[in-house]
Structure 1
Amino acid sequence: MKEKELLKRLESRGITLDAMLEAALKLYIGEEREKVREKLRELMLYYLEDINVGALLMAALLLEENFEVEGDPVNLVADELIGINIAEYIGGKMGLFNFFYYDTRKPGILAELPPFLDDAVGGFISGCMTRLFQGTVERP
């Protein structure tokens, strides 16, 4: 699935690239915010083209559309597993810790999303933020 197609599917659920960038930067403490935003935007677009990231985000989209869950039940862990896998795939083990940071605080759009999407998008955001600050700002 191409990045634009996936973005359209996410946007149909109210998840825009700008909303993901804003959520990511809500927990950012530092300077050069615009520079960080632009680099993060490039990184997000890069990973939206990755087949594995696309598959996991699409799985979350399809689960929200086809699997009825009321609220966010305590015994539901599949949503966390999707988010963790995206975060670790992009950001390695540090991405996992960043995932829990974003997951507990739910900045921006993450607070508005249903269970599968908040964790999948949270994993995507935290993985990209981790990758951005691992000393490799350029594409991997």
Structure 2
Amino acid sequence: MILEILKSKGITLERIIDTALELYIGNERERIKEKVRGVMLRYLEDINVQALLMAALLLEEKFNVEEDPVNLVADELIGIDIAEYIGGKMALFNFFYYDTKKPGILRELPPFLDDAIGGFIAGCMTLVFHELNLKG
């Protein structure tokens, strides 16, 4: 359901994955891409991730904030919550990396959605690399 809602806003799974991989430095791109896809699909079915993404969607609709005002922090909090929920405390570093660089689709999205999707990407990428490190 949430994927269909995001898709209606031009936010497809493929665009999210491409954005996640835009900051990836490594030579196992296809392997990482498939792992990221699996993690993302799994977490897009998680009710907590769905709720936070839906909150960002509704906030964009109700607040209609075109720019990202300096005093707006609620968008960051949603992104941080999603990132840490999926990837733990280490995902916080990835969130700020994606939030600062704004690769791919993130630079096109309004304030609440860019941080929510950025947090989703950061959490998923952190989880993928954590799982890869555990497997050696």
Q: TM-score range by the shorter chain?
A: over 0.9
Amino acid paired to 2:120: F
Map 1:62-77 → 2, pairs under 5 A = 62-77=58-73
Rounded to whole Å, the distance in 2 between the matches of 1:70 and 1:131 is 32
> Which stretches in structure 2 are left out of the alignment for 5+ residues?
none
Please state how far the C-alpha of 1:136 moved relative to its aligned partner. Answer: 5.2
Normalising by structure 2, we get a TM-score of: 0.95
Please state how far the C-alpha of 1:70 moved relative to its aligned partner. Answer: 3.4
Map 1:101-112 → 2, pairs under 5 A = 101-112=97-108
Q: Which runs of 4+ in 1 moved over 6 A?
A: none
Rounded to whole Å, the distance in 1 between the matches of 2:94 and 2:13 is 19
1:76-118, Cα deviation, whole Å (9 max, x unpaired): 0000000000000001111001000000000000000000000
Map of 1:20 onto structure 2: 16
**RMSD over aligned Cα, in angstroms?**
1.4
Please state how far the C-alpha of 1:32 moved relative to its aligned partner. Answer: 1.4
Aligned length: 134
Please state how far the C-alpha of 1:31 moved relative to its aligned partner. Answer: 1.3
Q: 1:122 aligns with which of 114, 118, 121?
A: 118
Rounded to whole Å, the distance in 1 between the matches of 2:68 and 2:39 is 30
Please state how far the C-alpha of 1:68 moved relative to its aligned partner. Answer: 2.4
Map of 2:74 onto structure 1: 78
Residue 46, structure 1, aligned to residue 42, structure 2 = yes
Please state how far the C-alpha of 1:58 moved relative to its aligned partner. Answer: 0.4
Amino acid paired to 1:17: L
Amino acid paired to 1:55: A
Normalising by structure 1, we get a TM-score of: 0.92
Any idea what SS the aligned residue of 1:29 has?
coil
